[in-house]
Amino acid sequence: MNLRSGSKEEPEINLTSLIDVVFLLLVFFMMSTSFVREADISLRLPQAEIGAEFISSAVEVLEISITETGVYLVNGRPLANNLRRTLLSEIEMLVGSNDGLSVFIRADAQATHQNVVTAMDVVRQLGFTEINISTVTIPAP
């Protein structure tokens, strides 16, 4: 009595389903990845300078403050109203054609983002090239 079978089959691994899954993942990641590069904003962070050059240089600045309620102050003087054209005309009247001034925008922590963006857009429209956003560091209790 012969109990052995004549041919022995080798086990095989079916890779078809694995290849399908990898291909679907590849297509998914290709479709969900965005290759469009968004506009970058370049920031120049302030650096502390100590020396005679820094102290002796008297540079005129334009300071725009924004309160919690959205009131604009230009060099400490409040405007008649909070309209964009009022801010534009006040800055034009104050600085004239001197667009080389440094502009500092200070906003209250509770001021809306729209008010800050409006101030930045107005000074950009007037041709100012150096816009600084001032912040205040609150000491830890």
User: Looking only at Cα atoms, what is the longest distance across the chain?
Assistant: 114
Question: 27 and 66 in contact (C-beta within 8 Å)?
Answer: no
In angstroms, the CA 123 to CA 64 distance is 10
Q: Per-domain residue ranges for the chain?
A: 59-134
For the domain covering 59-134, report its CATH number. Answer: 3.30.420.270
Closest CA to 72 of 32, 124, 114, 28: 114
Q: Where do we find the tokens 């205040």?
A: 136
| Mean pLDDT (whole number) for 59-83 | 86
Please give the pLDDT value at position 101: 79
In angstroms, the CA 105 to CA 72 distance is 10
Please give the pLDDT value at position 55: 42
pLDDT(1) > 70? no
Neighbours of 115 (CB within 10 A): 22
